[in-house]
Chains A and B, each alone.
Chain A
């Protein structure tokens, strides 16, 4: 995900390096605020699952690199192939896509007691003792159940489709505006 800015020629008298880093700072801070506000708007799901803090984690990974010629490249997140890492997750939400499981199914917590916990961590994949896994006939999804409480803990699905959401990032116009405002800050 790249965004390039160029400065009008009127400003070429400025120190390019300084202008570039001022602009990078403006964009970095704006994108971090954007992610943070998104995180603050997150509410518990209908099932009572609390927000994961994903957007706050993503805000911590924002990096804006200014380059020669007063260009800036934005990146967010760790460099990983794992869609659970904030960087990959940001791109997934922005562009949309389908997540497939590494093994048999994706596990979605549906009970607040297992929010943020994977079945493997809880030892719930053995299908014995405390937990049982079951797939209703002719159903594409299954469940992991807490045998003692009789509660369904995780929903098991074969894939998850995320629709593209362009509001994940600020608009190009917003980013250009904050970048220009940084130039004005050091020019004035």
Chain B
């Protein structure tokens, strides 16, 4: 696990977030890091991935981040060309600060949102209020944006239930938590049930939205790339991600629900992309139906195992790319991968048949 993953794991283990969601979150974090890294190769942003992870775990200051990234960009032959000195120039302080701050705030916003939408939190504090948290020289007119996107003002305050789609609609990134735009300086704070009732904020029935407001960390993850979707660079991304990436013009979209769609049969099969040893791997609905389902939930009867959850399957691509351990057993690969919930995922891959088995065991002394 990376340093940032360890911190997130610790936060999850001691939080109110159900353990069945931990591995989905781990999968999201891995996928995001990998997505950013591969996209970076095309855009010269690769240098920033580990630096951002380091800074998120508190080991690198913003100044050190900028210095390290500039050195790597210079080493990689980066040239801003006609954008030199502008906000599009990756060497400038303004651009690097924007990347650093947006990444940091997005990760923090996600964890804060998870904490704010537990059962108890939603029962006592069912709404958010959008407030200015940092001054800006030229602040955007958020009350106007709020109303344009369909939000209602209550005594002039921008308040809506935490599960209301307004939060996604006001976001440039399509996410229901801050940051809602680059350098916006806005943040969300909880509003109590009694205050909502006093202001006339319509609230969902208690319990009706449990779990529905916690999106995947990679919902709406996308990147605009300076390449055509039929270019060699786009092919390299497809090789790396398999079917998890979809191009729409020069915008690469992350298909965060792909694995779940295969499990449900909505999608027949999906390529997981290039693995740890350069080989490709696919998962199909038939493999799940014929071989893997016996380890899911109540169907798991082997006492040595922990029943698989939805989140465990979401970790398959990350596990295939970067397993914790690999053993060769009778010409088959036995991959192991440590999870946030204290388990070890085991994936058996046959060179001809592909996935043969997938199950989870306990780590002695794990979380």
Residue numbers of A with Cβ under 8 A of B are: 15, 17-26, 28-29, 32-33, 36, 39-40, 53, 56-57, 59-67, 73, 77-80, 82, 84-88, 116-118, 120-121, 181-183, 185-186, 188
Contact = CB atoms under 8 A, between A and B. Distances in A.
Contacts of A33: 189
A182 B125 contact: yes
Interface stretch (B73-81, B114-122, B165-173): B114-122
Given A40-B133, A60-B105, A63-B15, A24 B58 contact: no
Interface in B101-152: 104-105, 108-109, 111-112, 115-116, 118-121, 123-125, 131-135
B121 A185 contact: no
Contact of B120 (A19, A40, A60, A63): A19
B187 interface: yes
Nearest to A67: B14
B59 A24 contact: no
B67 interface: yes
A183 B124 CA distance: 8
A62 B112 CA distance: 8
Contacts of A24: 16, 115, 118, 120-121
Interface stretch (B190-198, B243-251, B337-345): B190-198
Contact of B124 (A26, A61, A64): A26
A18 B120 contact: yes
B271 interface: no
Contacts of A73: 14
Contact of A29 (B59, B120, B189): B189
Contact of A63 (B57, B115, B123): B115
A17 B120 contact: yes
Given A19-B120, A60-B104, A79-B58, A121 B133 contact: no
Contact of A185 (B15, B61, B67, B194): B194
19 contacts: A17-B119, A22-B121, A24-B121, A25-B115, A25-B124, A25-B190, A28-B115, A28-B116, A29-B125, A29-B189, A53-B134, A56-B134, A63-B11, A78-B56, A78-B58, A82-B58, A181-B192, A186-B120, A188-B194
Contact of B63 (A64, A80, A116): A116
Most chain B beta-carbon neighbours within 10 Å: one of A19, A56, A60, A77: A60
Contacts of B305: none
Nearest to A23: B120
Interface centre among A24, A77, A88 (most CB of B within 10 A): A24
A25 to B, nearest CB: 4
Contact of A59 (B16, B124, B133): B133
Contacts of A26: 124-125, 190
B7 interface: yes
A1 to B, nearest CB: 14
Main secondary structure of the interface of A (DSSP, over half): helix
Contacts of B301: none
Interface string B48-92: 000000001111011110110000000000000000000000000
Given A60-B105, A63-B11, A120-B67, A25 B189 contact: no
A79 B7 CA distance: 7
B10 interface: yes
A82 to B, nearest CB: 6
Contacts of B131: 36
Q: In the A-B complex, list the 3 residue pairs whose CB atoms are closest, starting with the nearest.
A: A78-B58, A80-B58, A21-B120
A187 B314 CA distance: 38
- A19, A21, A87 — which one has the most chain B CB atoms within 10 A of its CB? A21
A55 to B, nearest CB: 9
A117 B93 contact: yes
Contacts of A121: 63-64, 66-67
B181 to A, nearest CB: 16
Nearest to A37: B133
